[in-house]
Structure 1
């Protein structure tokens, strides 16, 4: 039986009110406890004058003075990190919450559903929830609180989610004796993210994560290369529409997924450099806060050869 790991991530974004604490002053013990509440661990950290970046046993955490973004995969329950934050800081310290989930490969293995997660959130914070995409295909769930915050409409974020990668890099990621520096070179991270400080981790038996920070900007890449459930996520707050490199197009070219999703927050994406593809569905939402969300699901225009898996 092939290895399986649930790479699909949950994402939490929290903005702290002006009267709330500076998150970066809370100390490393606070963050270890918060991450542990979601059933994950901190593996490493890098920092600059603007933010702290943590590689987790399941994805990543980024902390600015008044904002955090946390992603977890596997069997974690990320909503518990928000509950921990509310318990320690108080709900009045929280100005804005966004909670996002991607449908999982095997949802039955998860400790909770999106509906159960937002029911817990709504005991403390009101908000609106959406599903984007069909239930029998790739789909995403999003919850956000109703209260706007400063700079919300100026902030940009974009996510690229790949499924069933193939080619030479995918083969290397599934091989024995991998090296993190080789993966950096294969993905050409120094070219795509020039000037970024990088922190990466190779997981056993398979898996690779990298965080990068430069000033107040970040990117993160998580690769679960297991053949029957291969999943890659890339996320950044770079303004890719005005960035000198077509980051997503280059990573699609190198990792060769059979299909992929792109979610842009206040940022539309450019498709011209993508591999030959079909856009199977798209959606644009303007939230009550004026925040624009763009979602598209793509498939390579080629015939995929399916391999039966013995059970």
Structure 2
């Protein structure tokens, strides 16, 4: 690491093609009832899993921990490929490139049982369609292969695709059971491509730059100004940011700036009744040519219906190609696909 800049991949590897699109895993855990499956004896907090065990877990995924940020509710890790968040009962892993995210599942469950006496309460795996799926390793070459792998682990899985099978789409695998996370839970993702070249210049030629300066110059610090931020620049280009907010809330941003395959992801679980203002800030900051957006919300979420919480105020500059609403047992989901008006 040099001046907050991390050298993870060679310049040739970065410039030929880099898949910015992430694979996203979110798992909620609950204590195992005593007498059912063994006591386990561990502390009921995922943060009690030793850091060395988490490092080993990341080797299965083919990435590494670069930086750590903590508050009283959660620990945020910047990875060589995206981010990880660990709180008392929630584990989030988000990895890009050709990482093998699903290789972490069985070991994660073992660690949660051994150190926390936990079992899975609910689970979500999702991703946008890849730009170059043929460069991925199995099972990530196709969503069908990912579903096959997940079905071997879970006996109550449900797989979905939203959007256009011959265009921009978004895949989801979740559990089809009545377990309910007994707290407000909402997740907004904005996955952007065809980014503005002037905006992307902030994240190129990172040698000698400071991550904090790039955060301010790009306007990222103004999107959720209350966030406590940890950022990293990568050589020769690229940027990752984790932000922690009160009450177990977070924000994470990842930037792949190369013009041929530019990509930016924004994700947060902040509680809002209306997300349209936040969405407006994000797209005004990065100026994407097109973007896919999803909002998950459970019955305790402040926003209520995800469909009503996304008012599409940006349609003066963007054209909607698709918008879909789905109702699951415990969550509702709104998906949208948008392209800039020319």
TM-score normalized with structure 2 length: 0.82
2:106 to 71, 79, 83: 83
Between the two proteins, the alignment pairs up a number of residues equal to: 300
| Residue 264 (str. 1) matches residue 264 (str. 2) | no
Structure-1 separation of matches of 2:288 and 2:204: 15
Greater mean deviation of Cα atoms: 265-274 or 46-55: 265-274
Structure-2 separation of matches of 1:195 and 1:18: 32
Structure-1 separation of matches of 2:233 and 2:260: 20
| Residue 220 (str. 1) matches residue 252 (str. 2) | yes
Two-structure CA RMSD over aligned residues (Å): 2.2
Shift of 1:89: 4.1
Greater mean deviation of Cα atoms: 170-179 or 232-241: 170-179
1:9/1:72 contact within 8 Å kept: yes
Shift of 1:239: 2.4
> Which stretches in structure 1 are left out of the alignment for 5+ residues?
303-311
Structure-2 separation of matches of 1:254 and 1:15: 32
Shift of 1:253: 1.6
Shift of 1:145: 1.1
Structural mapping, 1:18-167, within 5 Å: 18-19=31-32, 21-89=44-112, 93-112=119-138, 113-125=142-154, 126-151=156-181, 154-167=184-197
1:153/1:290 contact within 8 Å kept: no
Shift of 1:140: 1.0
Structural mapping, 1:257-296, within 5 Å: 257-266=288-297, 267=306, 268-273=309-314, 276-287=317-328, 289-296=329-336
2:295/2:335 contact within 8 Å kept: yes
1:6 to 13, 19, 41: 19
CA pair 156-74 structure 1, distance change in 2 beyond 3 A: same
Q: Secondary structure at the match of 1:154?
A: coil
Structural mapping, 1:298-309, within 5 Å: 298-302=338-342
2:206/2:235 contact within 8 Å kept: no
